[in-house]
Amino acid sequence: MRITLKQLEYFVAAGEMGSIKLAAMRINISQPSISSAISHLEREFGVQLFVRHHAQGLALTSSGKTMLREAKLMLRQAQGLYTIAGELNNEMRGRLSVGCMVTLAPMIAPELAHAFSERHPGVTLNMIEGSHQDLLSKLRQVEIDVAICYDLDVPADIQFEPLASLPPHVLLSRNHKFARRTSIDLGELATEPMVILDLPQSREYFLSLFESKNLAPTIVARAANQEVVRTMVANNYGFTISNVRPRNLTALDGRELVSVRLSGEHKAMLIGISTLAQERKPMILRVFEEHCRTMITHAGIPGMTVGDGNGT
């Protein structure tokens, strides 16, 4: 092989930054070194990796995008040698990038990451938040190694392993007329003002609950931030439906919330771990997956209340 890992690293930096100057600043190397590495790779592979724009920097060609993804995979595999060396010395070492659904991260990520780091101090864990679509994209671009997310429109090139079920429940302000109920029917909610979490995939899921019963919700407000939705509900804008059940039933402004069971049969959300489909997963990734299996279960989820009971 007439290419080096350093050359691949320089290529990846340039591809991600879209500029040789910015790539040089990111990895603290000279611009000529990066330019030379890219030229060498183009000659070696016989493909054009970038379109050069004098003022706008670099743009990956179609071939360049494919090569960038493969280069990232190769660099990750090379990084795995550190993990193997650690195993030989009975020590887990290396880096792992973990993506987490933005609505789950505040509850799950801190406890999950801290417990893993305590068990494996030689592993550098990088936690990244994102929407469902963001996380799938980052998996495909090899920007993260694993994602903690839902079972929503999982494509064929992504492996999803379910870990726990999250049924929908109704979230209300403490003084809402339904707040003292043990359960609420969707038919009763259809004419009540609703605040909806306006995120792709999540939004469609909540609407589908009503559509499955030939109902339509009365949406009065939307927000892409879960805490904004919770605070609006606490301030009597209306109810919301959520699958995430934080142990803390207080909105950020200090007002109290009430969680009530949604009566009837409804599709639950499955929370699990997603990875890029691959024949052999690095040991460090397999160890983290097992860690998730022990901490995210039907019996308990970090930071959350589980089960179908009333959460008042």
Report residues of the chain scoring pLDDT below 50.
309-312
In a domain, 85, yes or no: no
Q: What is the pLDDT of residue 141?
A: 82
Tell me the residue range of the domain where 211 lies: 168-267
pLDDT at 279: 60
Residue 94's H or E segment, with its range, is strand 94-101
What local confidence, expressed as pLDDT, does residue 155 receive? 86
The tally of domains found in the chain comes to 3
Are 288 and 142 found together in one domain? yes
Position 310 scores a pLDDT of 46
Asked if residue 185 and residue 125 are part of one domain, the reply reads no
Supply 221's token pair. Answer: 């407000």
Q: What is the pTM for the complete model shown?
A: 0.70
Q: 105 and 222, same structural domain?
A: no
pLDDT at position 309 is 46
Please state, rounded to an integer, the average pLDDT across all residues of the chain. Answer: 89
Report pLDDT digits (tens) over 9-55.
899 899 988 888 888 888 888 888 999 999 989 988 889 999 887 66
For residue 311, what pLDDT is reported?
Answer: 41
- The amino acid sitting at 283 is M
Say if CB 267 and CB 152 are below 8 A apart: no
Distance between the two ends of the chain, CA-based, in angstroms? 64
Pair (174, 31) in one structural domain: no
Pairing of strands 257-262, 183-184: parallel
pLDDT at 150: 93
Can you give the pLDDT at residue 85? Answer: 66
pLDDT of res. 21: 87
Nearest to 11 by CA among 85, 55, 63: 63
> Which CATH number fits the domain that encloses residue 100?
3.40.190.10
